[in-house]
Amino acid sequence: MTRFVFQLFRSPTRTHTSRVAGLLGLAVLTIAGCEAAPPPADQGPELGEAAQVGAATATPYAEFDADGAPSAIGIALSENFFDELPREPSNLRYCWDRDEDGEVAQPDECIPTHDWVIPLPSAAAARADMPFKWALLNWNPLGHIPPGVYDSPHFDVHFYIEPVESIMGIEPGPCGPEFVNCDQFETGRKPLPANYMDPKYVNVDAVAPAMGNHLVDVSGPEFSGEPFTRAWIYGSYDGRVTFYEEMVSLAFLVAQPSECFPIDSPPAVAVAGYYPTSSCLRYVPETGDYTVSLEDFVLREASPPEAVPEQAAVTTAGE
């Protein structure tokens, strides 16, 4: 199964009730390192600075329980968000002359995505016990590899542990199924220690520019011929877990869901702090917003790494 999925990826081509607005361009942003106290729980969500998508907004928020512990972090998409999405195949930022003809052709030689860096609210991101500091929202109008699985219009919502400047430093290049810088491809595909990943998640060498590697649950229904709706993905780079990702189809979101899904949590974590156990997708009828959030946080202690499993080492052993 692992070899089959690897070949697929190598083929070409909480309720949130506040209405908010703001502006944030894609940039390399530094998150403050000092600890900040959360707002009182009865004051509602803490809002961060929004990313502008045409006349629409994608606004980060955080929620806290009565004891001040984080209970949710997420992104709220305004009711007009889907009307404002770019129609072009990509933003032309992650391209590579793959056939070496001296020109870059869209969409075949560009990663088919548009992305927005979204810092989480400081009440959450500046906490020493919150590993997640910022989010990356990707809109993929053509979907992406593997064909027949994830090639329908969808969103990737990444919640990052790794610093933003490190992630944005992962550059396009000629290597791997996602066409990334060759040195960074080798760094990105390094396997994780066994206890830092749920065993269902397979390294398919999908190291992408401005993202990192992607570990996929190949037992998901979309790998058995069912239409893709949503999926959970882990990100890694240089042998570290770097992001948690909810991937959801446009069709599933516009159907106005209100549902949470359990996260397959790894046996251990390398960084102490609060980690989510649920991923939630909601339509908020009071405002018309759509929310994508991580919820039901638990406090976890850091554990030392175990040996890299043999299967993971074989999975990433080359082309």
pLDDT tens digits, residue range 121-157? Answer: 999 999 999 999 999 999 999 999 999 999 999 999 9
Is pLDDT above 60 for 80?
Answer: yes
Is pLDDT above 90 for 23?
Answer: no
pLDDT tens digits, residue range 262-312? Answer: 999 999 999 999 999 999 999 999 999 999 999 999 999 999 999 886 644
Q: CB of 95 within 8 A of CB of 103?
A: no
Identity of the highest mean pLDDT range in 11-15, 16-20, 78-82:
78-82
Beta bridge partners of 158: 136, 245
Mean pLDDT of 107-111: 88
The confidence band for 258, taking pLDDT boundaries of 50, 70 and 90, is very high
Q: What is the pLDDT of residue 184?
A: 98
Q: How many CB atoms lie within 10 A of CB 226?
A: 10
C-alpha to C-alpha distance for 199 and 26, rounded to whole angstroms:
34
Is pLDDT above 70 for 205?
Answer: yes
H helix intervals, 174-309? 182-188, 250-254
C-alpha to C-alpha distance for 245 and 138, rounded to whole angstroms:
11
pTM > 0.75: yes
Mean pLDDT of 32-46: 57
C-alpha to C-alpha distance for 313 and 308, rounded to whole angstroms:
7
Q: What is the mean pLDDT of the chain?
A: 87
Q: Which of 22-26, 99-103, 127-131 has the lowest mean pLDDT?
A: 22-26
Is pLDDT above 90 for 247?
Answer: yes
Mean pLDDT of 150-175: 97
